[in-house]
Structure 1
């Protein structure tokens, strides 16, 4: 029997509905499911710390990329990208001397995508910035399916 008549509509959910709190929910999930991000990026990141203090600030996630041994920082953000989080990325990168800087959010404004592209263009080969959009899909009342 054909399933064509039984197809359902795919809905995009707000990530804040799935993970209500950035620090307690989203960062923990990203850390626990780093293999999903690794698969998308073709990397082997190992998370070593969560909410690590650097000066008066906290890095969401810090780790190492096992192939290159580069320090990695991951900054998670709810909503659309903003200047505040871009500044955090730069501050944390300098403090940790990170080689891989990953910014995860729902949606990137054009200006911030261009900023990440420009940073990659002017940076040495051992320094890479990633702009990763996180979406969550559902069909009817199915379990949410995160997608980087």
Structure 2
């Protein structure tokens, strides 16, 4: 399989541990157990796979809505191996991630990032709340999916 493939996965996937290790290469404390088992009702993880190798992925978490008190879904991690960056893979992961989160459960999707320009290029806006230096909270309105 030479083609880049995007797919959803869960803990039964053979790629689950590979993606967790990929995320841990950037965020040592990342753990699927902490997010997906402890916080149910998250959309599935999205993988980017080429030649049966995980080269990127996107995962979610639940955190407080920056404009309210309820917990909502956030993009928790987006990562693409350095040698695959600049090819639109992170953008595709983020766009697919947005389409997975239902507007019936929340009005916006959020991300906390050190690369706000990537999100801005995809139509996300900065949320004017305090964050660490060189980081931003980003938001995009969710659309109601048409009924089929």
What range is the shorter-chain TM-score in? 0.3 to 0.5
Higher radius of gyration, 1 or 2: 1
Normalising by structure 2, we get a TM-score of 0.39
The structure whose residues are more often helix, as a share, is 1
Normalising by structure 1, we get a TM-score of 0.39
Could you say which structure has the greater relative contact order, defined with CA pairs below 8 angstroms and 6 or more residues apart?
A: 1
